[in-house]
Structure 1
Amino acid sequence: MQHSLISLSILAALASSAVFAQEQKEDEANDKYTDRIRILGSSDKLRTLGGAASLIGELELESFEFDDINRVLSTVPGVNIREEDGYGLRPNIGLRGSTPERSKKITLMEDGVLIGPSPYSAPAAYYFPMISKMTAVEVFKGPAAIKYGPNTVSGAINLVTREIPEDFDMGIDLAYGSDNYTKAHAFHGETAGKWGYLVEGLLTQADGFKTIDNSDADTGFDKTDLMAKLKYDLSSTNTDQFIELKVSKTAETSNETYLGLSDDDFNQNPYRRYAASQVGLMDWDHDTIQLTHFIDFQSVDVTTRVYRHKFSRSWQKVKGFGNNAPSIQTVLLDPDASGNQDYYLRLSGQEDGKIVVGNNDRRYVSQGIQSDFGFKFNTAHIEHIIDAGIRVHQDEILRDHFEQDFNMLAGTMQNPQNKIFTTVDQEKSTTLALYIQDTIKLDNLTLTTGVRREYIKTHYQNRSDNANAKDDWLDKEFSIILPSVSAFYAMNNDWGLFAGVHQGFVPSSPKQNDVDVDAEKSVNYELGLRFAMQNTSGEFVTFFNDYSNLKESCSFSNASASQCPIDTDFNGGNVDVYGLEANLKHNFALTTDLELPIVFTYSYTHSAFKESFNSDFPQWGNITAGDEVPYMPNHQLSVLASIVHGQWQLNLLAKYTGEMQEAAGSGVELSDKVIEAHTTFDLSANYSLSAQHSLYAKIDNLTDEDHLVSRRPDGARPTKPRQGVIGYKFRF
């Protein structure tokens, strides 16, 4: 009997050991997969990463419950933003001084896959995923951009959706606030045997904070997002393997306009909208289907994703007054001028007359297949970590822009007529991208070298019924090799130095003849210090981006419609952008139960055109060497302070943004205008009722500042006024 008990004990121990080994093996496989869908993976990886990086995790996202990516990025150094609608519906984000217009100069991803509507053909991100459903936001600046492309000048942003849980999990988030703001968010998922699933739904809406002349219509938005994931485990004795399907459908209807205010009207009431803007309406739908296969052979892991995104949008908004009339921007800059008065009165509904309304109807497709490989090996006692990947990608945009003449009658836009198509074209890109990166570990030194190859084939076609349209087309091919090298040296367990250099690149538009306009190219350098101790961590980085050619393109969001043709590219020549980024975190333990964590973020950015030239691009004009690039504040500072005590937490975020120029040179509209420095405060509080139930409240723009954030596209526009929100959360 005793021998039987011993035998059973040994068998149980062996079984337990086998189970533990299998769980450990599965955990390692999950970690590898996580590193494929994320840029940074986990905060531990920041310690040896050769490049400046920021990870905003789920707990940080929940501390303020922001719906606006602009506010989420407040604690990330090196981010320059031009606000527009106050809600962050269509963000304008730049990194390290790159042009913020529609975030077109940065690589945008969701779960490691390109998420922009048409990232090669038309990279302006008129679609941006709903930040409220994300569990992490990752920002990378520097050499690692080589892995992600196509835009490698400034960096990448990766948004991470919720993973399928291993055990039963569900959550509910309900909130209500100012301007009839409403949020309803719920998810549920679990894994049973070899099958796992997740379903998630999110609804946000608000009536808006502006008032339209002669109208009681709201100026808000409605957004919905439905997502489902299904996973099947194919693992065997020698391999960990699974396949996962993700499908999502997102929609937005927003009563948004490009029509702003004159400076005088802004000063009197920044939340006013002219009567002409009552026709403003954005309506879009976005569909995603993505199939992921992951296999880990222990020595090599491979992640393959097949994806397809479809995005359809229609944006109706005031465009102008017709032929031989001044632009809207001209009228609003000086509405009392003799040639502008009648048009201003027409916009504000005080005088009858014709107003041209444009509808920018577009359809996008972005699809492809990409595989990422990772493996390790040792040679001569030197460890090599190889990351490599290949992506075949195709995207296109179909434009069917038209305009109609509306009549402003007694303060109401009426009787649309004379539907005329203005832009009917197609831009299409087929690309092959490859990268390989070798990370070598030599004692305290981690050295990473990499290279990216982009082969891009594009097609432009005018699709209008004009007799000569068939002759208006352009096919071109482009290939470039983009190298990078970075290093991290651990001085001890707490302190490390890092440095890197890489080639920056942004392709030109398919519509643009490369004989006249070059692709954007730069050589980017960085040098930094990183440390992490028990209660204190930080990162200090200096960077220098040496542009051999800064490229810009015309869009409705950065210029009045009459100022330049859509998607026209412009050369900016040699430009220097350099600066300092600092991020410092410290946790003050005031008592055994009371903590005061503080996050300090500072960015200094300076830019200078190195050559004098005259440009037709509306944000440049007549450039004199030394002029600064617009929408790039020299100084930005944010301080996040929290008080944590048991079941409750109080957070205060202060963000200072320095003065920004509206235009770089002289001789163009807004060349003498600046966006003045401003500071905003956001406050939030969280209280846990129990392990499953919690309450939260927040106040965005605590001091109710009504500062001006931009005069583009057409007139002055404000930040969001003070908004209060209360919410309830349940987590099983």
Structure 2
Amino acid sequence: MNSHPLMKKLVLASAIQVALTTSAIAAEDQAEKTVNDTYIEKMQIIGRDQKLSRQSGSETLIDELELEQFKFDDINRILYSVPGVNIREEDGYGLRPNIGFRGATPERSKKINIMEDGVLIGPAPYSAASAYYFPMTAKMTSIEVFKGPSAIKYGPNTVAGSLNMVTRAVPQASEGLIDVSAGSDGYAKAHGYYGNTIGNFGFLIEGVHMRADGFKELDGGGDTGFEKSDVMTKLRYDLAGESFDQVFELKLSYANETSNETYLGLSDEDFAASPNRRYVASQLDNMDWTHKQFQFNHFIASDSLDITTRVYRNEFERAWYKINGFKGGLVNRSLQEILADPDKDETNARFYQILTGQQDSVAEYEKLILGNNDRSYYSQGIQSDLSWRFELGGLQHEFQSGVRFHQDQIERNHTTDSYLMQQANLVTDGNPTQASTTDREKVDAWSVYLQDTISWNALDVTAGVRGEYIDAKYQNRAPDSEEDYLNKTTRIWLPSLSVFYSLSDNAGLLFGVHEGFLPTSPKQDPSIDVESSINYELGGRYNDGNFNFELIGFFNDIGNLKEGCQFSSCGSDDDTEFNGGEVDVIGLELTSGYRFDLSDDIELPVSLSYTYTQSEFKTSFESGFDMWGDVEAGDELPYLPENQLSLNLGLVSNNWDVNMIVRYIDEMIEASGDGVVLSGSVTEALTVVDMSASYDFNEYGLVYVKADNVFDTQEIVSRRPYGARPSKPQQFQVGYQYRF
């Protein structure tokens, strides 16, 4: 059957980018690979072909072909099709995602490892795990998700799993792309790259710029959108020898964003009347950040042994100027309390009228406090990973090991300013800027993992262990601080065991168990315990090259749950962490796909992803954490839908394709127990339909159209930290791609 020309190009690129690197690679396949192909495999961790995957852990790959179907720029929309992923939406564009796996809190994606090209990419993954920076998904050629025992190689967070995003490889020949698009709410994107290899030297230059006016409507007028840019350069040199081959690669990138984003939401009544409204009190809210990245890779390989070494440094600076609340004093009310019930009493009503500009500030406690959360981060290190394939005692072994030395730091220089609401405008009260949080957190961490996959006939047994050695330091740099320093160390070993048994060439069963771990941040009191868990998974998969099916059940036995307060969750500036004791999370993940041949020229690909999850606190306790409150044994975790489903349908012909995705997300509770503002609050179930279509004019390029949220369905996706926030409304987009 003939295939779409664009898909041919993408499949070819994906085949180079996505080649197998694990035990599923046969020795004869290795012999046929070039040094460059093998190197690219190491940048992408998961391999994929038409055969049955013998991976014993839960791994998902979204390749370039799948990413091109809908041309999503929002990582949330991409990951909704991955089973076991739980998300709390925030801004509608995916600027600062909240992603969790298998019941782990999604808040600022702080419980998963976020990687780019196999390297930790969060601003300070150990010191301050909240991911206020997230890479541009428009430049990624594949997305990888690891859960269960497969995540033991990537740390420090091993309770939930890891997310790895792979950037474009330096092409083997002259290759380029121009992609421009425009859409609703002032949306526009310009994306381009060019690369080539001349002799042993290769290069790639890629840039992306995106902007939007925003879909929210600020009272009194004003911009609620964003602009962000990313420029990346790669230089590569291949060096082949008689006994081994080598690749040297340098990656440099620079990114920035300015977004008029806010944490301020709406009352439920105002949301029902106009979900995209924004109160005038948020008129000055703005995020401004820059990110710089350096990464140097060295890859050396022989017939049975290869070593990949990465040296990296990431620098991130951000300043988020935003409304924090009222000055208080004589009368104190949080923004969350006010918007949860503006008509509760005269005090709430008065504060609400000031927030919306209906009344002016008069009393001192009615002044509005705007905070500038000014932070600088760095993350740097060196890591080396080894893979050795050998036979011992009549058994095939694939031994993998790695060591990493990592340093990261966050430095906070938070300040606040006081404003009056005057005639529906924020006016400074003339007082000087006040320092609020001035501190530094820093970590030096050594980590190591050892893993051996032993193959005997139809059985693969993988045993591994991960070690984390963390030295953490906290310094309160405020002039009047009495507690200047806090030093603490963490030493832990985390074992894993998994098994895969092939029932046939097309079917197999898997089982895995591993110990999960989540460190505390440097500033937390030593009385706060690290999060620990024993995680199990059991399932099976089938793949005959045309039809695939995978069903995995998981059980996370969390011995000690740990959560923390940030502005995104509690509206708090202190980043305090809390322990919640024993929690059970149990669930089921299902994926399946099939391609129907409707005619010689038309295919109908269908895929389904479903997740069922339940959670339960095992003990009763009282907590100051705003998402827990007074918990009774049997209460559930917040922001964890019981059912999630994603159905993809397509029609693919020689020069055109049409794709539709239907996504369902169940309701979610916003607080586990009683005694907190959002106790009893629930987000409504949400069904969203996205569509895309394209037509390839061959040498004249490709035209595409897409529609997010076709039926313009909007619900409250969260009431944190201050009031109801909407899902993204209907958005249309038209674009043009030219490849050369």
TM-score class, shorter-chain normalisation, is: over 0.9
Match of 1:381 in 2: 394
Say yes or no: does 1:404 pair with 2:417.
Answer: yes
Distance 1:341 1:73 in 2: 40
Distance 1:74 1:556 in 2: 25
Distance 2:541 2:624 in 1: 43
Taking the TM superposition and a 5 Å limit, the aligned residue runs for 1:55-70 are 55-70=61-76
**2:553 aligned to 510, 533, 542, which one?**
542
**2:434 aligned to 417, 420, 425, which one?**
420
Quickly say closer, same or farther: Cα 1:97–1:691, change in 2 above 3 A.
farther
Distance 1:697 1:543 in 2: 38
Match of 1:477 in 2: 489
Over the aligned positions, Cα root-mean-square deviation in angstroms equals: 1.5
**1:246 aligned to 251, 254, 259, which one?**
251
Q: What's the CA shift for 1:242?
A: 1.7
Taking the TM superposition and a 5 Å limit, the aligned residue runs for 1:105-144 are 105-144=111-150
Q: Partner of 2:95: helix, strand, or coil?
A: coil
Do 1:241 and 1:295's aligned partners in 2 also have CA atoms closer than 8 Å?
yes
Say yes or no: does 1:440 pair with 2:448.
Answer: no
1:727 is aligned with what amino acid?
Answer: G
**1:221 aligned to 226, 251, 263, which one?**
226
Do 2:51 and 2:545's aligned partners in 1 also have CA atoms closer than 8 Å?
no
Q: What's the CA shift for 1:224?
A: 0.1
Quickly say closer, same or farther: Cα 1:191–1:389, change in 2 above 3 A.
same
Quickly say closer, same or farther: Cα 1:23–1:433, change in 2 above 3 A.
closer
Match of 2:515 in 1: 503
Match of 2:239 in 1: 234
Q: What's the CA shift for 1:25?
A: 5.3
Distance 1:617 1:45 in 2: 47
Q: What's the CA shift for 1:590?
A: 1.5
Quickly say closer, same or farther: Cα 1:568–1:45, change in 2 above 3 A.
farther
Q: What's the CA shift for 1:42?
A: 2.8
Q: Partner of 1:234: helix, strand, or coil?
A: strand
Task: Please identify, of 79-88 and 44-53, the stretch whose mean Cα deviation from structure 2 is larger.
Answer: 44-53
Q: What's the CA shift for 1:266?
A: 0.5
Task: Please identify, of 531-540 and 426-435, the stretch whose mean Cα deviation from structure 2 is larger.
Answer: 531-540
Distance 1:33 1:291 in 2: 13
CA deviations on 1:624-657 (whole Å, 9 max, x unpaired) are 0000000000000110000112211111100000
Match of 2:530 in 1: 519
Do 1:213 and 1:272's aligned partners in 2 also have CA atoms closer than 8 Å?
yes
**1:593 aligned to 596, 601, 607, which one?**
601
Quickly say closer, same or farther: Cα 1:43–1:55, change in 2 above 3 A.
farther
CA deviations on 1:645-695 (whole Å, 9 max, x unpaired) are 221111110000001000000000101100011100001001111156111
Do 1:199 and 1:229's aligned partners in 2 also have CA atoms closer than 8 Å?
yes
Quickly say closer, same or farther: Cα 1:497–1:460, change in 2 above 3 A.
same
Match of 1:304 in 2: 309
Quickly say closer, same or farther: Cα 1:45–1:438, change in 2 above 3 A.
farther
**1:555 aligned to 553, 557, 566, which one?**
566
Do 2:207 and 2:231's aligned partners in 1 also have CA atoms closer than 8 Å?
yes
Distance 2:261 2:550 in 1: 39
Distance 1:50 1:35 in 2: 19
Taking the TM superposition and a 5 Å limit, the aligned residue runs for 1:242-641 are 242-324=247-329, 325-336=332-343, 337-353=345-361, 354-415=367-428, 417-466=431-480, 468-469=481-482, 471-514=483-526, 516-561=527-572, 566-641=574-649
Distance 1:361 1:530 in 2: 48
Q: What's the CA shift for 1:84?
A: 0.5
The TM-score normalised by the length of structure 1 is 0.95
Q: What's the CA shift for 1:137?
A: 0.3
Distance 1:196 1:442 in 2: 41
Q: What's the CA shift for 1:453?
A: 0.4
Q: Partner of 2:269: helix, strand, or coil?
A: helix
The TM-score normalised by the length of structure 2 is 0.94
Match of 2:712 in 1: 704
Do 2:52 and 2:507's aligned partners in 1 also have CA atoms closer than 8 Å?
no
Taking the TM superposition and a 5 Å limit, the aligned residue runs for 1:164-203 are 164-203=170-209
Do 1:627 and 1:664's aligned partners in 2 also have CA atoms closer than 8 Å?
yes
Do 2:35 and 2:238's aligned partners in 1 also have CA atoms closer than 8 Å?
no
Q: Partner of 1:340: helix, strand, or coil?
A: helix
Say yes or no: does 1:98 pair with 2:104.
Answer: yes
Q: What's the CA shift for 1:316?
A: 0.5
Distance 1:473 1:618 in 2: 27
Q: What's the CA shift for 1:592?
A: 1.7
Do 1:46 and 1:53's aligned partners in 2 also have CA atoms closer than 8 Å?
no
- Structure 2 residue runs of 5 or longer lacking an equivalent are 1-26, 362-366
Distance 1:708 1:53 in 2: 31
Distance 2:649 2:30 in 1: 38
Distance 1:326 1:208 in 2: 29
Do 2:35 and 2:245's aligned partners in 1 also have CA atoms closer than 8 Å?
yes
Match of 1:716 in 2: 724
Task: Please identify, of 416-425 and 158-167, the stretch whose mean Cα deviation from structure 2 is larger.
Answer: 416-425
Distance 1:34 1:476 in 2: 39
2:510 is aligned with what amino acid?
Answer: F
Q: What's the CA shift for 1:567?
A: 1.9
1:409 is aligned with what amino acid?
Answer: Q
**1:211 aligned to 217, 221, 224, which one?**
217
Distance 2:103 2:423 in 1: 46
User: Runs (4+) of structure 1 moved beyond 4 Å?
Assistant: 21-26, 43-46
Do 2:304 and 2:389's aligned partners in 1 also have CA atoms closer than 8 Å?
yes
Do 1:36 and 1:372's aligned partners in 2 also have CA atoms closer than 8 Å?
no
Distance 1:93 1:411 in 2: 36
1:253 is aligned with what amino acid?
Answer: T
Do 1:171 and 1:730's aligned partners in 2 also have CA atoms closer than 8 Å?
yes
Do 1:484 and 1:502's aligned partners in 2 also have CA atoms closer than 8 Å?
yes
Quickly say closer, same or farther: Cα 1:691–1:583, change in 2 above 3 A.
farther
Distance 1:47 1:24 in 2: 17
Distance 2:473 2:428 in 1: 38
Task: Please identify, of 683-692 and 523-532, the stretch whose mean Cα deviation from structure 2 is larger.
Answer: 683-692
Distance 1:666 1:472 in 2: 36
Do 1:39 and 1:140's aligned partners in 2 also have CA atoms closer than 8 Å?
no
- Structure 1 residue runs of 5 or longer lacking an equivalent are 1-20
Q: What's the CA shift for 1:38?
A: 2.1
Quickly say closer, same or farther: Cα 1:178–1:46, change in 2 above 3 A.
farther
Q: What's the CA shift for 1:144?
A: 1.5
Distance 1:266 1:668 in 2: 21
Equivalent pairs counted in the alignment come to 705
Q: What's the CA shift for 1:36?
A: 2.5
